[in-house]
Amino acid sequence: DVKVTQSSRYLVKRTGEKVFLECVQDMDHENMFWYRQDPGLGLRLIYFSYDVKMKEKGDIPEGYSVSREKKERFSLILESASTNQTSMYLCASSLRSAGGPTEAFFGQGTRLTVV
Amino acid sequence: SQQGEEDPQALSIQEGENATMNCSYKTSINNLQWYRQNSGRGLVHLILIRSNEREKHSGRLRVTLDTSKKSSSLLITASRAADTASYFCATPPSSNTGKLIFGQGTTLQVKP
């Protein structure tokens, strides 16, 4: 059974802390994604990675960075957490294809609260 | 950049009725995908329709794609209470990328 696993289901951090959200997939997928989901705003893409050490900014990269040192792991880093980063964070992965994006598999989400 | 936008934002129907959700997008695409999200969970892929396809079926789901109008629709027939969820369409921001951009979603409530 294919799996995308996010390290935490719920997380509470303090303003100014450096926060790491980890995501691991076991499907040998080239593409990995980080989204945040807020009520009324849907899913917004933060970062996209199409290979090890390769990344592209999404629509809302400010305040975030990412790391992809190994194919199966994609980390989202909040350099200095702020209350406006309180949100649901979703990781996903998919196969790379010349024919456009393929089916994405999602993790269960991390609900982050910054206090 | 909001590529796909769903309509309506919310839909409430009785069990047994059909539910139709629409998605409009802005640029040319290779394919369009629909996903479902149960409350507080990750998304689950439902169906992918390629740009050269006009209609696709999967069980009680029927998806249509009109590339001339840059729109797609998802029809759920004979809805059940268990279909209560949010539904999202997803498209690439341009035709040569693996990125997936999601719309804001349609929240469907099916009343028993």
Alpha-carbon distance of A104 to B10, in angstroms, equals 24
- Across residues B75-98, what is the average pLDDT? 89
pLDDT in tens, B24-44: 998 888 899 999 999 888 899
Residue A70 confidence class, pLDDT cut points 50, 70, 90: very high
Q: Tell me whether residues B98 and A59 touch, CB distance under 8 A.
A: no
Q: Tell me whether residues A45 and B48 touch, CB distance under 8 A.
A: no
Cα B28 to the center of its chain, rounded Å: 17
Query: What pLDDT shows up at residue B3?
Result: 63
Asked if the model's pLDDT at residue B78 lies above 60, the reply is yes
Asked if the model's pLDDT at residue B110 lies above 80, the reply is yes
- What residues of chain B lie within 8 A of the CB of A3, using their CB? none
The whole-chain average pLDDT of chain B stands at 92
Alpha-carbon distance of A110 to B44, in angstroms, equals 16
Give the residue among A41, A40, A32 at the shortest CA–CA distance from A90.
A32
Q: How many A/B residue pairs have CB atoms within 8 Å?
A: 81
The alpha carbon of residue A86 is apart from the nearest alpha carbon of chain B, in Å, by: 15
Residues 31-50 of B with CB under 8 A from A: 31, 33, 35, 40-45, 48, 50
Query: What pLDDT shows up at residue B96?
Result: 63
Torsion angle of C-alpha atoms B9, B13, B19, B21, degrees rounded to 10? -10
pLDDT in tens, A83-114: 999 999 999 999 988 878 889 999 999 999 99
State which residue of chain B sits closest to A55, comparing Cα positions: B99
- Across residues B32-60, what is the average pLDDT? 94
Please tell me the least confidently modeled range out of A23-27, A110-114, B97-101. B97-101
Asked if the model's pLDDT at residue B2 lies above 60, the reply is no
Query: What pLDDT shows up at residue A4?
Result: 97
The alpha carbon of residue B22 is apart from the nearest alpha carbon of chain A, in Å, by: 15
Query: What pLDDT shows up at residue B95?
Result: 59
Q: Tell me whether residues B43 and A92 touch, CB distance under 8 A.
A: yes
Give the residue among B29, B43, B20 at the shortest CA–CA distance from A106.
B43
Alpha-carbon distance of A65 to A5, in angstroms, equals 19
Query: What pLDDT shows up at residue B1?
Result: 47
Token representation of residue A31: 């593409």
- What residues of chain B lie within 8 A of the CB of A23, using their CB? none
